[in-house]
Each structure stands twice: as structure tokens, then as C-alpha cells.
Amino acid sequence: MRSKRRALILSIALCGLVLAGFALLKPTRAADRPAASAPAAEPEGCTVIMVGKDASTDGSIMTTHTADCGMCDWTWRHIPAADHKPGSTRKIRNISQFKTFSPAEGLKWDLVNKEPAGLEIPEVPHTYGFHHGMFGYMNDKQLAIGESTIGNVRKIENPTPVPKFNISELTLLAMERCATAREAIQLMGSLAEKYGYGYLDSGEMLAVADPKEVWVFEIMPVGPLWTPQSGKPGAVWCAQRVPDDHVAVCPNESRIGEIDLANKDYFMASPNVISCAVEAKLYDPAGGKPFSWKRAYSPSEGSAVSSEGRRARMWRFFNIVAPSLAFKPEMENMDYPFSVKPEKKLSVGDVMAMTRDKCQATALDPARGIRGGPFKNPNYWGTTRTIGTRNAEYTTITQCRGSLPDPIGGIVWINFGAQDTACFVPFYAGAAEIPKSFSVGDHWTFNRASARWAFDYVDYHAQVVYDPAMNEVKAALDQWEGGALARTAEIDAQALDLYKKSPAKALRFLTGYCLNNAQSVVDAWWKLGDTIFLKYKHLSIYDTSKRTYGRYGLKYPDWWKKAVKAYDVFMDPAPAATGH
């Protein structure tokens, strides 16, 4: 027995040494690299997935956005279309992605109007209606956007208030003024060039889509010394189109590599796209290498393996959509292709599942082995950064469908909170209202009038007994999310029939459907939270219909019990006999 115990302790100790050695060998982070070549930060927040129209099952173009700051504002609003008088102006505001306000002060999107950037630009005669949260997501012309922070090398940061544009305001202006992705890219790029980009934001990526195409748009500041009087652009930007039959991803890493500006159907850029890098000594034309946007402005070294899973999303996306390419998790993230043709076309349901992905059944599965505890909870293990994340404010999926009129063809699906325990609800582009419960609430004040808290309520109770509780959640998702997906074709048809007779009636119908469905889902999630809490309280199983109590209903697996005993032996071996 003593020899077996020694062998067990030795094996555990050896495992500990291996893990410690692995930690010591982890790659140099951005903060340790020279300032000239290091990104200002290694953002690990928002994931964007893009699907071309010929890569989807229904011909729709899709983008996603996981807003996973963990403490940011989650509120949503609808801004109606409007006409404006000649000579009127539009005030530009300093909108921080991360700043929040106490509910006692008021709603964020009212309070940002009190933080002007000191710039007013001419208003346009007509602005489109749109839905927005932290960014603009879908307007009534089916323009759609998803966002991911990518950072940039430190020397081109511009934290001064001289630049007047931030990424949130750029997306809102695009929603107001643009009908196509190309228009939006040109508008955002030209405004940033003229008035400067930075102050509150660093390098950013936007997926910009319409019913015909989807683009990756990336924008950076140009350094702290820029002024409008310099005569130089106040931003540097580049955009690349995703081929129609391809899919692409941005997991907080710059995705545009070598560019071909002669191919105007696939590339757009600011006039300083290369000269800015040369002046900042980020690229040497005499070096013999072609210019690479991402390697110059936002290099992102490391792989899924070398980062201990922190940079696993790139590998996992390609692993899901094109498994036969057999990309290894050891592959450097900067070496992945810009986009690929998926091995099967993707439906909206497939994309929803991908936003919830936790690297299941892979070596990076955060619930693998003892990591997830006895109930296989993937949210305990904090090293692996998966596509699905517990820190989400909300997740969006936008659909742009050219086969239908714009108010019917565009849909933004919203999922509040952690993707795995929350439900996607649809809002058509033509819906003229967002529920009041979507516009209120914050992380620090529990509020039953806030839709987001209904989903957090379920998530909190599900975390305790994750594996069994998720059976309850999945049943609810089948009913409400699956039901909405199944009804989409019917709702489309009814709305289209009304639209042909009266567009106004069609918009009222879509608004009513979206509001009623959203309220039903929120009500169902409050009830679901109560159900999980009541059923699994005290780590037992209470059957409310039979009024039975299963004290030992929750079974702890044998492997977990053995692991606990092994840990006890290692940490606190039995004391030697004392003779008493």
C-alpha cells in the first residue's frame, strides 16, 4: 500500500512539474515585445463570424458579434427613420464602448449626448431607421455590422481627444446614412480620415454586410501627433471582401494580410495604407517582402496551443467549418487563410450553435477531465478562450436576404448573456420598436424589468449543476428558439403578402410579432430559472409533479470521487501512527 501511495504521489507531482514547466515556456505576450512592433493590447473580447450568400443554406449573408466585455452596457434601442431640414447638423459624441452609468443617472444612450466630441457635421436629408446596442447592427435597408476589437501597435495609438471619431459613432452614422456595405465602408473611412480616429478606441474590425456581400473593414489610429492641420489622413484603414461561397472569422485578431488594391471588387483602403506603415517604420519596402496589413499594424503572434488555449477561437472555427483541411492547433494564427469554403453550407441554426461552441470533444475542451467538475461545467476552466463565453453582454446574428424586400429580408437575432443558457430572439429590419425591457438594466442592480436579468437568472442557477440543468435549458431552446426558426418562413410569407398591399401594415405586423415573441421568451426564461432552482436545490432532485425528493438523485461520477481522493492524498497524506 505504501509503495502504491508513493507512486501515486510521484505521478501527481510529476504532472505538476510538467504544468509548471509549460507555464514557464508560454509565449512572450505583447506587453513584453518591443513597443514598435507590439499591439497596444491583446484583446480577448468579441468574436465575429461571417457567411457569404453562397455559403449559407438559404442564400442569406450572415454576420455575428459576441459583445463579451463582462461589465459593459447591454441596452438596446430602435432609432426610427427621419427627415431633416436643410442646413441642420449632426453632433458627434464621445461614446465609450466600456463606460457604464448607474440606472439612477439615466440610460446610457441618453447620457452620451452630454459628452460631445466638439464636432458637428452636415446632416443628410433622410436617415434610415435601425436597431442598435453597443454598435449599430441592422438598418431598414439591410445594412448589417458586427464588431471585434483587434488592437494595433503601440506607436500608432492616439489617446488624445484630437481625433473626433470612435468606432461606436462610426457604426451609428453608417446605419443612419448608408444602404450598402461599400457605402458604409467609404463613409466611415472618409470621416475618420478627415476628422481623425482614436481617443477612446484602438484598432477595430467591423464585418459590414448587405444582401449582396460581406466585407472585413479594419481601422487604426495614426499616432498621437496627428492634427487636422497636418493635411494627412487621421486614420488608416483597409477592407477586404469575403468571397460569396466562403466563410470567415475575426477572433480579436487582424485578418487582412497582403492586399491588391488594383482588384477593386475585393479590396478598398485609405490612401495612406502603406505610406503610414513606412513612415512609422512598421514596413520597409526595400526589405523584399510584400506588404501585409496585419503584420505591419496589428501582429498577433501565437497559436491555440502556445497560448494555452487563449487563442483557440481561430483554430476552432476552421476546425468546425473545414475539418478536412486538418489545421493543427499548433498552427500560428497569423498563418490561417483569410477565408475558406465551408464543407457544408451553414444555416442560421448552425451559426447559433457555433456561437455557443466550447471546443467540445477536443484537447482544448474546458470541461475535459477534472476541469469541469462532477457536472461537466465548461465555464470553470479559465484558460481556454472559446467562441461561446460566459462573459457575453449579448450575441447577435444578422441575416441579409436579397430575395425579400428590405424590411422583411433583414433580421438581427439577439441573445442576452451567456450564449449556452440564453435564447436567440429575432427582430426584423422593419420592426419599428425594441421592447422596453431591452433598453434598461445593468450588471450591478438586479432588475426584473430588464430582459437581460431573466437570462442571467437562468444562467446563475444552471452553473451549479450544469450538465443536468442544461437538459432543462435545451428543452426550452427547442421550444422557443427552434420555434422561431421554424416560423421564419411563415412570418416572411405573411409579411410579404401584407407588404404587397400595404408596406405600413407589413411593418406593424412584423413589429407585433417581434415584440410578442420577445416578451414570451423573457417570461419563459424567468419561469425556467424558477424551475431549475426548485428542481436542483440542495444538490438534490425535487419532482414537483410527484412531490418526491431524490436526496441522492444527483450522481457524482466515480472518476471525480477518485480524483478528489488522489488530491487529498497528495495535499494531506495520512499522519503516521503515534502509538496512542
Averaged pLDDT for residues 173-201 = 98
Residue range 233-284, pLDDT digits in tens: 999 999 999 999 999 999 999 999 999 999 999 999 999 999 999 999 999 9
| Cell numbers linked to 334 | 497569423
**Would you say residue 144 has pLDDT above 80?**
yes
Question: Which range has the worst mean pLDDT, 12-16, 83-87, 367-371?
Answer: 12-16
What is the pTM (predicted TM-score) of this model? 0.91
**Confidence class for position 568, pLDDT limits 50, 70, 90:** confident
pLDDT value at position 578?
52
Interhelix angle 466-501/348-355, nearest 10 degrees = 140
Question: Which range has the worst mean pLDDT, 460-464, 517-521, 566-570?
Answer: 566-570
In angstroms and rounded to an integer, the radius of gyration of the C-alpha atoms of the chain is 26
Pairing of β 77-79 and β 130-132: antiparallel
pLDDT value at position 34?
35
**Would you say residue 305 has pLDDT above 70?**
yes
The ranges assigned to domains in the chain are 33-403
| Cell numbers linked to 131 | 436597431
pLDDT value at position 127?
98
The side-by-side arrangement of strands in the sheet containing 394-400 is: 247-250, 48-51, 61-67, 394-400, 411-416, 425-428
pLDDT value at position 451?
98
pLDDT value at position 43?
56
Averaged pLDDT for residues 391-405 = 97
- The alpha helices in 424-557, defined as continuous H runs, are 451-464, 466-501, 503-536
CA distances from 443 to 131, 226, 529 (A): 22, 37, 18
The residue to which cell 436576404 is assigned = 401
- 442 vs 65: CA distance, rounded Å: 20
**Would you say residue 579 has pLDDT above 70?**
no
Give, as one character, the DSSP assignment of residue 508.
H
Instruction: Choose among 82, 453, 63: nearest CA to 247.
Output: 63
pLDDT value at position 64?
98
Query: Mean pLDDT in the chain?
Result: 91
Residue range 23-37, pLDDT digits in tens: 332 333 333 333 444
| Cell numbers linked to 303 | 497559436
pLDDT value at position 18?
32
**Would you say residue 16 has pLDDT above 60?**
no
Share of the chain above pLDDT 90, in %: 84
* DSSP per position, 202-265: -SEEEEEE-SS-EEEEEEE---TT--GGG-S-S-EEEEEEEPTT-EEEESSS----B--TT-TT
Averaged pLDDT for residues 551-564 = 85
**Confidence class for position 575, pLDDT limits 50, 70, 90:** low
* C-beta of residue 235 within 8 angstroms of C-beta of residue 197: yes
- Cα dihedral 336, 337, 343, 345 sign: positive
- 500 vs 482: CA distance, rounded Å: 28
**Would you say residue 576 has pLDDT above 60?**
no
